[in-house]
Amino acid sequence: MREEFDALFCNLISAMAKSSKQRTLSVYLYIPNIVGYIRIVLNCIAFALCFSNRRLFSILYFVSFVCDGLDGWFARKFNQVSTFGAVLDMVTDRVSTACLLAILSQFYSPGLVFLFLLALDIASHWLQMYSTFLSGKASHKDVKDSTNWLFKAYYGNRLFMAYCCVASEVIYLILFLLAKKQSESVIDVLADNATKISPLSFLIIFALFGWAIKQAVNVIQMKTAADMCVLYDINRKHRP
């Protein structure tokens, strides 16, 4: 009887482990997550070619960025929203943007500007994700309880957020394509090209506006998330 019970118990554990592996594998193979893997491959190829073929780099980088919108659409369309997918998406975004900003810091002066933007981007999103975890929210985009109208408008309107994000990446890609080997002033390059009557000048002005909004949101997000972490500590200390 004992042997039969042990065998039944082992079979049950084995079945549970197999079922768990199947569920884990199924999440890894979600359509939006596969899109995420494609983005990583595209970015790896793009950065491998960034100094030898700038145009191809820009195309691959921008296609990868466009896929950032597709994975979210697939997740909602096929009900395949997952925490892993959300983390994969954010990490891919932050790493790709960070690499591009690091490259731009070598082309333009002051390079510290791009390193500051890199630090702001990573810090604000990391704090936002961590504060989301502490507050028990399902998504870092859930900012309904925020009192800042710009912050709520940014995450509350997908088109507005998409415009700001695309505008930021477009500015960085334009600077990358315009960069020369010698160190140039980033302000002079943007001003010279923005004042010329051309489609490029219109694109620069249109993108700069969205870029500025996104940086303002990053500052607000970092401060709001930091306040949330502090409030969590205060509430924890006052618990009986």
| H helices present in 29-79, as ranges | 31-48, 54-77
Helix, strand, or coil here: 137? Answer: coil
- Residue among 68, 71, 89, 93 flagged as catalytic: 93
Catalytic, 93? Answer yes
**Spatial separation of the C-alpha atoms in residues 40 and 43, rounded to whole Å:** 5
Cα(113)–Cα(97) distance, integer angstroms = 14
What is the CB neighbour count within 10 angstroms for residue 103? 18
Residue 138 is given by DSSP the state S
Q: How many C-beta atoms surround the C-beta of residue 23 within 10 A?
A: 9
8 A C-beta contact, residue 64 and residue 96: yes
Q: Kindly state the tokens that stand for 11.
A: 């079979």
* Cβ count within 10 A of residue 225: 23
Q: Rounded distance, CA 202 to CA 193, Å? A: 9
Known catalytic residues are 93
